[in-house]
A = this chain, B = another copy of it.
Amino acid sequence: MMLKIVLDNWHTTLKRTNDLVDGLSDEQLMQEIAPRRNRGIYLLGHLTAVHDAMLPLLGLGEAHYPALLAPYVKEADNKQDYQETPAQLRQYWKEVNNSLNSKMAALTPGDWLDRHTSVSPEDFAKEPHRNRLNVLVSRMLHLDNHRGQLVLLKGKDE
């Protein structure tokens, strides 16, 4: 039941984000959420790269688009055109989450309480909370944190 509650909230947060992003035009995504702050396009690339990296972190396979990590996570918003178009990022975002969700659906409660791949067996023995479920909860918070910023693009002049 506790696992179901976390997973239900993950899916709800993801659906709210998808509904929000689907309702924003490409022109709105190219705008800053506030003066001199990140643009929507950067946040969409950022969330896609972070969710993509969950695949190897949860031991569920390779990342699909590891090249997104540099421009959208390690570096700040370049404030220019990215190599990826808004349409491509929208597609990558959906694809990465679909892959993640279908692979997560096969995990058992025991799998969720097992270690994630960036903690060693020795460290995990001492810190058993460093498990897959903890990754999911922190990424869910990360997602809603940025959703609170993306919502500021709604109703912006295109």
Contact = CB atoms under 8 A, between A and B. Distances in A.
A111 to B, nearest CB: 13
A95 B74 CA distance: 38
A152 B148 CA distance: 11
A140 B1 CA distance: 18
A34 B2 contact: no
A34 B141 contact: no
A8 B134 CA distance: 9
A141 B9 contact: yes
A138 interface: yes
Give the secondary structure class of A's interface: helix
Contacts of A112: 2
Nearest to A147: B145
A57 to B, nearest CB: 16
A3 interface: yes
A91 B77 CA distance: 36
Given A2-B6, A145-B148, A146-B148, 11 more contacts: A1-B113, A2-B133, A5-B134, A8-B134, A9-B137, A13-B141, A33-B34, A34-B35, A34-B152, A141-B144, A142-B144
What are the 3 A-B residue pairs with the smallest beta carbon separation, nearest first?
Answer: A145-B148, A34-B34, A148-B148
18 contacts: A1-B113, A1-B129, A2-B2, A2-B3, A2-B113, A2-B133, A4-B129, A5-B133, A5-B137, A9-B138, A34-B152, A35-B35, A37-B152, A141-B144, A144-B148, A145-B147, A146-B148, A148-B149
